[in-house]
Amino acid sequence: MRHVIVIGASLAGLAAVDGMRRSGFDGRITVVDSADSLPPDRPPLSKQVLGGTMSPESATQPMAARLDDLDIELCLGIGATSLDAASRRIALSDGSTIVADGLVIATGATPRTLPGALPGVFTLRTLEDSVAIAAELDLEPQRVVVVGAGFIGAEVAATCRSRGVEVTIVEAQDRPMQRVMPGSIGDFITTLHRDEGVDVRLGVGISSLLGSSRVAGVKLTDGTVIDADLVVAGIGVTPATGWLEGSGLELGDGVVCDETMLAAPGVVAAGDLARWPHRRYGEHLRIEQWDNAIEQGGYAGRRLVSGSAEPFAPVPWFWTDQYDCKLQLAGRVAPGDEVRVVDGSTAERRFVALFRRDAHCIGAVAVNRARHAVQMRAKLSEPLLWADALAHFGVDDR
């Protein structure tokens, strides 16, 4: 293998390049991306850049800095339009084709949008999105409606509220962030936002957007109308796999890989669009998080050039900053898991909670308890008995 092509100059794509170089691969690496510029470091987009405490230029520096030692051919403004996986022949948007000895697919995902979008309605995925929303906030809108209380929605709501704007969150589920932080942790997040003055509407969706030349409000599925000068939708993403239709790869909520991130001979995938069977949890996962993009991208790059077949089975790791809280979650939890606070208290916004399934601890969430979060992540790398997890915090469950 002498020439590897990476489709997507994303965090996962560049991490794959780093993984290849660290494995000793000294061949040619070409990175292709349809964007005209390198993507930014995404976590600041919903926080520091949106809040006006970080310049847009600073958000791009971490990605640019990664290029110095990677020795790549970077082709920006050129997207991949189709792939023949068997020959690893890629058609590009400029009409050319390239053939690779090895291929990394890291084209990420695209945000879902609200139907009937009007001016003043945004999603937040790119640096341009963040800058545009920040410019709207500089005009001091009367009310912002955030649709969706997942990571992006909750962070956008917190940032807007921190700028003194009246904010309403509309979430179709019964609790915020229910997919990754179920149970009473979602109740904590609801209380957190309400205590900060956010109007949180749960168990209700958006029926329609109101306005003509610009958004003026939203109508909810229960008939309620909420005025809005600005609407931000954080209602999830769709894996960017359209260009792979007919490629010979298996597609299904992403690019389907084996447990070593191999999608076909000589083809690996990583990042938001990669779905793979996690050996420990016994299910296919697709994780849309910053930490996973780095870890999975590096693993996929090493897998491609070294042929190592050790399964990729990390402990999922999520984090979010909202107001004065840093929430960190380790493990794979589900709505039916028992939740128990074992250190601190939710009222103080400083606690650790453990998740129980049968006789095992299968996850932990820490709020403003970074040291405990790191410790629990390490412990969860192996099966952890519930009694042993409690004992770590000096809790006797007898």
Q: Where are the chain's structural domains?
A: 3-110+238-306, 113-233, 324-392
pLDDT tens string, the chain, 398 residues long: the values are: 899 999 999 999 999 999 999 999 999 999 999 999 888 888 899 999 999 999 998 888 777 777 777 889 999 999 999 999 999 999 999 999 999 999 999 999 999 999 988 999 999 999 999 999 999 999 999 999 999 999 999 999 999 999 999 999 999 999 998 877 777 899 999 999 999 999 999 999 999 999 999 999 999 999 999 999 999 999 999 999 999 999 999 999 999 999 999 999 999 999 999 999 999 888 999 999 999 999 999 999 999 999 877 899 999 999 999 999 999 999 999 888 999 999 999 999 999 999 999 999 999 999 999 999 999 999 999 999 999 999 999 988 76
Residue 251: DSSP 8-state: B
Cβ partners under 8 Å of residue 361, min gap 6 = 331, 354, 355, 379, 380, 384, 385, 386, 388, 389
Where are any strands of DSSP class E within 308-368?
Answer: 317-322, 325-331, 338-345, 350-357, 360-367
* Alpha helices by DSSP H, the chain: 11-22, 48-51, 56-66, 127-138, 151-162, 184-195, 290-306, 370-379, 386-392
Fold of 324-392: Enolase-like; domain 1 (3.30.390)
Per-residue tokens: 231 = 């609407």
Q: What is the pLDDT of residue 398?
A: 64
Residue 126: DSSP 8-state: S
Q: What is the pLDDT of residue 330?
A: 95
Q: What is the pLDDT of residue 66?
A: 72
Q: What is the pLDDT of residue 60?
A: 82
Which three-class secondary structure state does DSSP give residue 43? helix
Q: Does 3-110+238-306 match 113-233 in CATH topology? A: yes
Which CATH superfamily, name and number, covers 3-110+238-306?
FAD/NAD(P)-binding domain (3.50.50.60)
Q: What is the pLDDT of residue 61?
A: 75
The answer regarding whether domain 113-233 maps to CATH 3.40.350.10 reads no
Cβ partners under 8 Å of residue 66, min gap 6 = 14, 18
Q: What is the pLDDT of residue 37?
A: 87
